[in-house]
Amino acid sequence: MPLAAPDSRGQRAPQPAVKWELASTIASMKVLQERFTSRGHRMGDLQARWLANDVGAAAFPALRRGEQMPRGAVLVSQHTVRGNGAPAGAFAMVKRDPGFFPEGGDWEWIAIGSDDNIVARGKLAACARCHADAVADFVFPVATQPAQP
């Protein structure tokens, strides 16, 4: 359960679970790539599946170095545990207006639990740091290695 900001005594109270408002749309998103071993999130113990909303799916195949995804693009990396296929949550990126988070490519980053509840969201520096190594606009290309059980 997420925690609130510290109070005057430095204590953090648990916050109620909040479902990601786009979680119900994941099933209807376009598949950018089917199951492959994630080389980033949890370093190889997850299978990933990349999905995108219509805006993201239209722009993703043509994305090249120096180009930007359009505002409104949503990219989702949906995960299962490698070996047993248990749901392991997802990570999402939502392209926001210019100036939202320049250090993170103006992406909002969302970590989603296997129950579709938000674990973390916003201008997440850890996500931006890793994705800064991506080929274009903080977005990694389609993986080339085959899926592994």
The answer to the question of residue 12 being in a domain is: no
The answer to the question of residue 89 being in a domain is: yes
**What CATH number is attached to the domain comprising 113?**
3.50.70.20
Cα 61 from Cα 30, distance rounded (Å)? 12
Q: Is the pTM of this model over 0.85?
A: no
What integer pLDDT is reported at residue 124 of this predicted model? 95
Mean pLDDT of the chain, nearest integer: 86
Domain count, the chain: 1
Domain of 66 in residue numbering reads as 23-131
- For residue 74, CA distances in Å to 6, 51, 137 come to 31, 8, 13
The answer to the question of residue 8 being in a domain is: no
In this prediction, residues 113-119 reach a mean pLDDT of 93
Contact 27, 126 (CB under 8 A): no
pLDDT of 120 over the 90 cut: yes
Residue range 18-76, pLDDT digits in tens: 999 999 999 999 999 888 777 666 666 788 899 999 999 999 988 988 899 999 999 99
